[in-house]
Every structure is written in structure tokens, then in C-alpha cells.
Structure 1
Amino acid sequence: MSLKDMKLGRRLALSLMGVGIANPRGFAQTATYPSRALKLLVGYPPGGGADILARIFANKLSPLLGQPVVVENRPGAGSTIAAAALASAPADGYTLFFAESGILVGPTIYDKVGYDPLTLTPIGALGNLPYSLVVNPSFPARNVREFIDVLKASPGKYSYASPGVGNIAHLSAEMFQKAAGVQIVHVPYKGGTPALADLVSGQVPICFVSLPPALALARSGKLRLLALTSAKRSPVAPDVPTISETLPGFNSVASIFLLAPPETPATIVYRLNAAMRSIMSMPDVLSDFIAQGAIVETSSPKELATLFRQELASWGSIVKSAGVRME
């Protein structure tokens, strides 16, 4: 290891102590870590966007660590089931979680989730996922300004579909209503696929949903893609405007990140963060993530811990103002 790497490792270890994840056992464990297969939890069913990205990541992580990395799907309750499983797993670096912002929302909308987001060990951010605002082709608006005008003319007349209560797509719609000063009735679905199916059939006129499936349907003329919820346009759809181009400052995305159980040793975290950064710089991984609508932006564990606190506050405020709650 070079002097530069030694200094970087020392700084990282000190920063991890600052967010409560350093563990002296880690220095002994690192010499043999990893010596067996790792498990990568995903909070959504197989075949979805999060699952696809997790499997791309796992396929690259395995050769870097010299051990198999097995993806394990634990869907349900906005990925809080997977987060609870991570929270109770041993702090040895063999159980990881390919997570997104939904786990930060969970404790604010469910009575019991089985974990505290701030006790989970941050390894690093991978990027974020914007959502799309789409309408049925018969809807009388072709852009965000016209969309707002239609909604203001008929408060509460129109309904919108989302992949579920508390999903970041749902909260993006709540953010939009507040920013635009409009009223739309929420119709939650069990996933983006059934929501889009009813949008295309005309059962619901508006939908907030992830970008890739919406983009495919828009290109075939089955729906109209009005805008993205991110601050910047997506590389996969550069011709699609953002809501922020009409409502300056609007930005609602789901951050995606890698987590480990509470009290995972700092040295293991350092190795996993280095592997994560290496993977996310690979051209084929960048291309695959962009194809799924993701915007790649990596971070250190300390930076992710800061992001957690910021998102907990911002999403908590949105949930409170919208009155979102689940039993």
C-alpha cells in the first residue's frame, strides 16, 4: 500500500468514527475478508429497476472481492423488510443492502419498521433515479405549464397513479402539488407496471413512475411523457424536459446507495467503498445504469451519512405535510 493510500485509509477510519461505524474488530477481520460468499439484499421483487441495477453491481463486485455475491430479494413495505433484515444481520461485511431513499421514508409512515436508518452503516452512494410525469395521450396538456393550468382550472378533478403509498414517486407527486399549487387525487398501485397499464387504458389520466418503462411506452405513442422530476435532464432522454424548467428549484429523485449492518468495521467499509467506486467507474456499468435511467454519482461513507440526515429531514417534511401514514 502506498503512503497516499495509508493516509486515505486513516482519514476514512477517523471519519467513520465520526458517524458511529468504526469497530476495532475490523482491523483483525480485514486480513481474511472476504473468505466466503456475500449476500446483497434488494427490497423489491426480481425484474424491477432496483433488482436489475443490483444484479449488474453484484456481477462486478464478485470478481473484485474474489467471492460469490448472491442477490437476495426481500420485497415489501417500501423495502423496509429488507432494511430490517440488514439491521439484524451480523456486522461482518457479508450481508449488504442495495438500497434507495424509500428506507428513509419508511420510519415516518409505518408504525414499526424494525430498524433505525441512522444506525445502518453507510458504504457509499451510487447515484440517483429520477421519476417521470406521464399522462394518457388524451389528457389536454402537452407540457408542464399546460398541465398546471389544467389542474388549477379544476382542483381535485383529476387523479394520478403511483407505484404505492410512500414510494418516492408518490412523494414526488406530493412535492409537485405543493410547488405548483394544484390538487390531484392519489391512486396507489402495487408497483409501476399495473399503474402504467391503467394509465395506457385510460383508467387513470396521470402517473408518476420510474423512467425506463414510461420512456418505452412514450416512444410507442401509448402515453405522453411531460417531464422528469430531477434537477437535470437524463442522458437516456435528453429531449425530455424537467419539472424544474417550469418550476425552478424542483428536484425529487431516489438516491441509491450501498449499506451494511450497524457497527460494521471501518476497514471493511473502506474496502467495500473502494470496490464500489471502481465498479461505478467501469464504462459498461455506467452505460447499463444510464440505460435504466440512473444518474451515477458516488460518495464516501461520511458523505452518505450526511445525505441520510438531509433526506430524512426533507422526506419527513413532505410526508408530514401530505399526511401520509400506513398501519
Structure 2
Amino acid sequence: MKNFIIKVGVGALISCSACAQQNYPDHPVRLIVGFAAGGSTDLVARIVANKMSALLGQSVVVENRAGAGGSIATDAVAKSKADGYTLLLGTSSHAINASLYKRLPYDSDDVVPVSVVASVPMVLAVNPSVKANTAKEFIDDIKKNPGKYTYGSAGKGSALHMAVELLANQEKLQVTHVPFRGASQAIQSVISGDIPFITDAVSTAAPMVQSGKLKAFAVTTATRSSVLPNVPTMKEAGFPSYETSIWNMVMVPKGTPAAVVEKLSATLLATVKDPDVQQRMQKIGVEPVLDSTPEKAAAFVKAETRRWAEVIKAGSIQQE
């Protein structure tokens, strides 16, 4: 009789668990962002959350937990219950941090990919006083003057920093990194002429380029940016091996039920295919990713982690 009661109890628990997954979500979902409000990652999060709320029939609430290159937010999600109610909007920093930091409070596989939702092109831009008029002319000048040029970024290990490190690694450039507390400070320093160049997100740099405060040489993605259509890609500019972006990927704690992951994946795919979502993203220079799956996202983040590990090792970059 006792064994029968135990078996019935276990069966009931399994049945309740399956029922909960079938009814998912039955209360609000949190989408954790590792960066401050107002930046491109936060804007993408709010565009995505708004549409997801409509599709899921439950509020998807954006929560900002900035700091340590996104690792504070990642740690919070990694340690949360694996039930689909706490999501992470991961960025390129997730792949970078795996090698950048000597120690992290979580393992990289404590959060798992659901879907890449957006890609943010970056743009190689300079102060208008720079004499070069193309990316090729500019990089040739850097090669002729090793150590002369400095560049700004949003901080050590940021996507803006690593974009230049990738180029420096490929082209054997000697340039000096000047880290700032944020991208806005870095770009203002280029505009003022304190430092000559930056690789910044198109979403924030485009207005400065359009107003003539910056001179744009090339965007970093395989295709041109919708907000800077006259600016060539780095490949078009003569650098066929160079391509990078700031990507946004929804992730969940390891162990989240497969049925929940599948529902989130389908919801995210419907979200980025929505014409209004696409229009809102493209308006700020963000390109929606329309074909992601958990499997594709996992393979992508694995490749990105490997790539940035090589760049970090080559540049002897380390963060405590």
C-alpha cells in the first residue's frame, strides 16, 4: 500500500509538471538584459518583449541588470529556476566573457541558447579630420605608422573593443586601445578629435555619420546596413575575411524543459518575422535574424566563443 501511494505521488508530480509545461506561460515572464536602459540591447529587448507578450498572452517584463560585461545578468539567469519564466537576452559578450575573465560565477553552459533574434552591424568610423577616405587607405596608413593610432571602446572586452582587436589580429596592426565607461563617451571622444577612430554599433553611430560628425569607412557585417546604405561592407572595402556584429540571443537556464524551449523558439521566430517588429528594429539599425533555431543558435555561440578565445589569446587580453 505504501509503495502504491509513493508511485501515485510520483505519477501525480510528473503529471503536474507536464501540465505546467502545457499551460506555459501562466504568469509573467522576465527578460533579463545585462546592459543599461537606452542602449541597443535594451531597445531590442523591449521590441521583442512587447511582441512576445502579445503572442504568449502573458507579460514579458524587461529587467536591466547591468555590469561586468553582461556577466551579472547571465549569473542571475543561470541560477534561476529552469522553468522558462526567467530569460536572458545574451549578446556577443557571452561568447567573449568565456575567455576574457579568469573566473566567472557560472559556467558558460549554465545558460543555453533558444534563438538568435537580432544582429547589430558595427561601423568603422573616424574623426572627419582623418585624411583617408576609404577603409583601405586608413588601414594602410595605420600599417605605415605603427603605434600612432588610438581607438575608443565601451570598455575592455566590449564588443567594440573586440571588433578592432579582430581587425588588428587579421591585418597585423599596432594600435592603442582607450577604454571608456560607455560607448557614448568613446564616440564623443572621436567626435572631439581626442582619439581618431572607433568601431561602434550602427544604431548609435549612424546619426553622427549622417550629421557629418563622423566619417564612416565600412560596416562590419556581410551585408550593408539599412540605415547607412551607402557605406560599403568591410568585405567590399577589401577585407574579405573580416566580419562581425553585436548579436542578441535569447537564452534560458540549463535544464529548461524541451517543450518550453520549443514554444519559446516558435514564439521568437514569429516575433522577428512580424513586419512591425522588423520595421522597428531596422529603424534603429538592427537587423532581425529570421531563421534561428535552438540548434543553430547553439552552434553559432560555440563558434563565436572559439573565435573570440583566439583573438583574446593573440592580444593577451585579460579581465580580472
TM-score normalised by the chain length of structure 1: 0.90
- Report Cα offsets for 1:87-127 as digits up to 9, x if no partner: 00000110001111111111211122222222312211113
* Between 190-199 and 234-243, the greater mean CA deviation after superposition: 234-243
What is the SS of the residue equivalent to 2:121?
strand
| Other-structure match for 1:310 | 303
CA distance change for structure 1 residues 34 and 145 in 2, over 3 Å: closer, same or farther? Answer: same
| Other-structure match for 1:273 | 265
| Other-structure match for 1:179 | 170
* Between 257-266 and 292-301, the greater mean CA deviation after superposition: 292-301
| Other-structure match for 1:203 | 194
Give, in whole Å, the separation in 2 of the partners of 1:65 and 1:52. Answer: 20
Give, in whole Å, the separation in 2 of the partners of 1:237 and 1:25. Answer: 52
Give, in whole Å, the separation in 2 of the partners of 1:307 and 1:277. Answer: 16
| Other-structure match for 2:4 | none
Gaps of 5+ in 2: 1-13
| Other-structure match for 1:5 | none
Give, in whole Å, the separation in 2 of the partners of 1:240 and 1:255. Answer: 20
Assess if the C-alpha contact under 8 Å between 1:43 and 1:76 holds in 2: yes
| Other-structure match for 1:20 | none
* Between 41-50 and 126-135, the greater mean CA deviation after superposition: 126-135
Does residue 132 (structure 1) correspond to residue 123 (structure 2)? The answer is yes
Letter in 1 for 2:209: A
- Report Cα offsets for 1:183-217 as digits up to 9, x if no partner: 11000111110001111111111111111221101
* Between 164-173 and 115-124, the greater mean CA deviation after superposition: 115-124
Map residues 249-260 of structure 1 onto 2, 5 A cutoff: 249-260=241-252
Shift of 1:180: 2.3
Assess if the C-alpha contact under 8 Å between 2:159 and 2:246 holds in 1: yes
| Other-structure match for 1:12 | none
Give, in whole Å, the separation in 1 of the partners of 2:152 and 2:219. Answer: 16
What RMSD, in angstroms, separates the aligned Cα atoms of the two structures? 1.6
Gaps of 5+ in 1: 1-22
Shift of 1:296: 1.9
Does residue 322 (structure 1) correspond to residue 309 (structure 2)? The answer is no
What is the SS of the residue equivalent to 1:86?
helix
Letter in 1 for 2:304: E
Shift of 1:131: 1.0
| Other-structure match for 2:43 | 52
Shift of 1:24: 10
What is the SS of the residue equivalent to 2:235?
helix
What is the SS of the residue equivalent to 1:152?
helix
Give, in whole Å, the separation in 1 of the partners of 2:47 and 2:287. Answer: 15
Does residue 73 (structure 1) correspond to residue 37 (structure 2)? The answer is no
Assess if the C-alpha contact under 8 Å between 2:149 and 2:196 holds in 1: yes
Map residues 1-327 of structure 1 onto 2, 5 A cutoff: 27-245=18-236, 246-297=238-289, 298-327=291-320
Assess if the C-alpha contact under 8 Å between 1:230 and 1:251 holds in 2: yes
Quick one: percent identity of the two aligned structures? 36
CA distance change for structure 1 residues 207 and 25 in 2, over 3 Å: closer, same or farther? Answer: farther
TM-score normalised by the chain length of structure 2: 0.92
Letter in 2 for 1:284: D
Assess if the C-alpha contact under 8 Å between 1:78 and 1:166 holds in 2: yes
Give, in whole Å, the separation in 2 of the partners of 1:317 and 1:263. Answer: 29
Give, in whole Å, the separation in 2 of the partners of 1:25 and 1:108. Answer: 41
CA distance change for structure 1 residues 314 and 26 in 2, over 3 Å: closer, same or farther? Answer: farther
Give, in whole Å, the separation in 2 of the partners of 1:111 and 1:320. Answer: 12
Assess if the C-alpha contact under 8 Å between 2:206 and 2:227 holds in 1: no
Give, in whole Å, the separation in 1 of the partners of 2:261 and 2:306. Answer: 25
CA distance change for structure 1 residues 238 and 280 in 2, over 3 Å: closer, same or farther? Answer: same
Letter in 2 for 1:181: K
Assess if the C-alpha contact under 8 Å between 2:45 and 2:62 holds in 1: yes
Shift of 1:25: 8.2
What is the SS of the residue equivalent to 2:90?
strand
